[in-house]
Amino acid sequence: MPSLEKNHCSEEMSEEQLLIELDKILDDYIGKPGALIPVLQIAQRMFGYLPDASLKLISKRLDKPYSEVAGVVSFYSFFSTVPRGKYLVRVCLGTACYVRGGKEVLEALKNELNIDVGETTEDKIFSLDIGRCFGACGLAPVIMINDDVHQRVKPAKVYDILNTYRLKEEKSEVKK
Q: Predicted confidence band at 151 (pLDDT cuts at 50, 70, 90)? A: very high
SS3 169: helix
pLDDT at site 1: 41
pLDDT band at 77 (very low <50, low <70, confident <90, very high): confident
Give 70's contacts (C-beta < 8 A, 6+ positions apart).
55
Whose CA is closest to 141, among 103, 84, 85, 89? 103
pLDDT digits (tens, 9 = 90+) for 81-131: 988 888 999 999 999 999 999 999 999 999 999 999 989 999 989 999 998
The letter for the amino acid at 143 is: I
Strand partners, 91: 130, 143
Q: Count the helix, strand and coil residues of the chain and give each as a percent rounded to the nearest 5.
A: 55, 10, 35
pLDDT at 56: 97
pLDDT band at 12 (very low <50, low <70, confident <90, very high): low
* Amino acid making up residue 51: P
pLDDT at residue number 144: 95
Instruction: Please check the confidence at residue 31 and state whether its pLDDT lies above 60.
Output: yes
